[in-house]
Amino acid sequence: MTLKERIDADIKQAMLAKDKARLQALRSIKSQILLAETEKGGAEGITTDTEMKLLTKAAKQRRESAELYAKQGRADLEQVELQELAVIEAYLPKQLDEGDLRARLVEIIQRVGATGPSDIGRVMGVASKELAGQADGRAISQAAGELLNNTDF
């Protein structure tokens, strides 16, 4: 079952359950998928990789919006964003914790032969592809920078 089919089925369930927050988040995801399909021509659909990128981007947007609303003291809007984020994260692969992320980055650093901070570009190129959907780009960049500055990995 493709992501689009899963979303359609979950929209129907949310409508039957009258779960407005979940329904809103699912419709948002479906809208992004439909937009991506029409950009590419729509005949063949979109790849799984593109679907993961869309979900990751949507999750990042919700996370950043929730942080902004929290700083502004808008708990009501923050809660809406966090609810939508929870729905989106259910479709993403399990996120790596910091220890697992660092272990994967050490493996990538050794594989590409990186020796210091000047090699961050090579490491990030490989890491962003391999860890797509499993970790936030900012977290990957921060951990990779720390590891390359330490060189005791």
Q: Where are the domains of the chain?
A: 3-89, 98-150
Nearest to 67 by CA among 129, 138, 134: 138
> pLDDT, tens digit, for every residue of 45-54?
788 878 888 8
> pLDDT, tens digit, for every residue of 65-89?
999 999 999 999 999 999 999 999 8
CATH class of the domain comprising 3-89: mainly alpha
Question: At a CB cut-off of 8 Å and minimum separation 6, what does 11 contact?
Answer: 23, 26, 27, 30
Tokens representing 152? 């005791």
Asked whether this chain's domains 3-89 and 98-150 adopt the same fold, the reply is no
What number of CA atoms fall less than 13 Å from residue 143's CA on the CB side? 24
> pLDDT, tens digit, for every residue of 99-147?
899 999 999 999 998 888 888 899 999 998 888 778 878 889 999 989 8
**Predicted structure pTM score:** 0.71
Q: Does domain 98-150 have CATH number 1.10.10.410?
A: yes
Is the pLDDT assigned to residue 153 strictly greater than 60? no
Q: Are 122 and 114 in contact (CB under 8 A)?
A: yes
Q: Percent of the chain beyond pLDDT 70?
A: 95
> pLDDT, tens digit, for every residue of 18-54?
999 899 999 999 999 888 888 866 556 788 878 888 8
